[in-house]
Copies of this chain bind each other. A is one copy, B any other.
Amino acid sequence: MSTIKDVARRAGVSLGTASRVLSGSTSTSPESRAKVQTAAAELGYIAHGPARSLRRSRTEVLGLLVSDIRNPFFSELAHAAESEAMKRGYAVLLANADEDEVQADEYLRIFASQRVDGLLLSPQGPVTPRLAALLASRLPVVLLNRSVEGLDAPLYATDNAQGVGLVLDWLERRGHRDVAFVGGPVTISTGAERQAAYLAGREAHGISTDDAFVDAGDFQAEGATAAMIRILDRGVLPTAVFGANGPTTLGVLHGLRERLGAEAASRIEVISFDDLEWFEFASPPITSVRNDAAAIGRLGVRGLIDLIEGREAASARIAMSLVDRSLVDRSSASRPVS
């Protein structure tokens, strides 16, 4: 790989001039500009990022730490974040914490070592010492979707209360009284917020306040299946189930089938926080409130770059929208086919 020295030599100018042309800092004469540019093109010169970073103490790399890129919510978020970052000249280092604090912490070390310019964080748990150290070093950070106590950073997140409100309205409209709720860990802000909003709103929407209908998993499919089964094993039979995120809803379906069989399960309506592309093909189709992951990713990157470049960044709550897939009225849908 050729260096800027090679370019300068070939263009017949000094190293400084070549640098000025290539990074466009101060003005240069049209002639040297042309000479340097053709020389660079001929050599296929590509600036050495690490060297530039060392000198400028900025890497133009962002760190993105999510819990699991396999969760469609995060893969859509990552896609949007990465696309927005590239548009603004930043690359993205990806990290999957797998909902594991230790692993998350290890990634923070790698990010710190790579000297990322900023951090997009969907926190796994409390603020670890290493994260505290990074914050103390004034590394710009924005939070995605989840907040965490003691971390004062702009938050780009779903409007959980509003989304749950849409769910409650829909449940009431559909005439459901016996509704099961499968939540996520209350140690995660999204889990706590969604559960709190649901519990608080149940009564006003004519939904049973029997806590036998309520349980929580780990925001993954397996944990949700177990939670769904626990609910059914308490001897209650819901007419509808509310899953608190995408993987949870998948787990709910598994749990319903496992305990009730496909036939009986198909008489229970399911509504989900997070919309998945296949919900319309389930039977009955699954209604959802759509969580705009792309918007969160995009806004997060913009906010982070604002912070990096010394501007202010304001938190934002992204409103959710109902995707109503209930085609028929319940009285007929809930009767077995005869």
Task: List residues of A whose CB falls within 8 A of some B CB.
Answer: 1, 44, 46-51, 53-54, 59, 61, 64, 68-70, 72, 75-76, 78-79, 82-83, 86, 91-96, 98, 103, 106-107, 109-110, 112-115, 133, 137, 221, 250, 253, 276-278, 281-283, 337
B59–A50 CB distance below 8 A: yes
B96–A93 CB distance below 8 A: no
B82–A94 CB distance below 8 A: yes
Closest chain B residue to A129 by CB distance?
B44
What residues of chain B lie closer than 8 Å to A86, measured between beta carbons?
Answer: 95, 103, 106-107, 110
A282–B278 CB distance below 8 A: yes
B282–A49 CB distance below 8 A: no
**Residue of A79, A96, A114, A282 contacting most chain B CB atoms (<10 Å):** A114
| Other-chain contact of A70, B51, B79, B91 (Cβ < 8 Å) | B79
Once bound together, how far apart are the Cα atoms of A114 and B47, in whole Å? 9
Once bound together, how far apart are the Cα atoms of A61 and B109, in whole Å? 14
The contact sample of 24 A-B pairs, CB cut-off 8 A, is A46-B113, A48-B115, A49-B50, A50-B50, A50-B53, A50-B114, A61-B93, A61-B114, A64-B94, A69-B75, A69-B78, A70-B72, A72-B72, A75-B75, A78-B94, A82-B94, A82-B96, A83-B96, A86-B95, A91-B95, A250-B277, A250-B278, A276-B278, A281-B283
Least CB distance, A19 to chain B, in whole angstroms: 15
B68–A79 CB distance below 8 A: yes
Which 9 pairs between the two chains have the least Cβ-Cβ distance?
A50-B53, A50-B50, A94-B94, A278-B278, A75-B75, A49-B114, A49-B113, A50-B54, A46-B112
Known: A1-B137, A50-B115. 8 other contacts (CB 8 A): A69-B79, A82-B94, A82-B96, A83-B96, A250-B278, A278-B278, A278-B281, A283-B283
What residues of chain B lie closer than 8 Å to A47, measured between beta carbons?
Answer: 113
Once bound together, how far apart are the Cα atoms of A76 and B103, in whole Å? 18
B70–A75 CB distance below 8 A: yes
A94–B92 CB distance below 8 A: yes
What residues of chain B lie closer than 8 Å to A110, measured between beta carbons?
Answer: 86, 91
What residues of chain B lie closer than 8 Å to A78, measured between beta carbons?
Answer: 69, 94
Least CB distance, A23 to chain B, in whole angstroms: 12
What residues of chain B lie closer than 8 Å to A337, measured between beta carbons?
Answer: 337
Closest chain B residue to A63 by CB distance?
B91
Closest chain B residue to A103 by CB distance?
B86
Closest chain B residue to A276 by CB distance?
B278
Once bound together, how far apart are the Cα atoms of A87 and B27, in whole Å? 47
**Residue of A82, A110, A133 contacting most chain B CB atoms (<10 Å):** A110
Closest chain B residue to A78 by CB distance?
B69
Closest chain B residue to A283 by CB distance?
B283
| Other-chain contact of A281, B1, B51, B54, B253 (Cβ < 8 Å) | B253
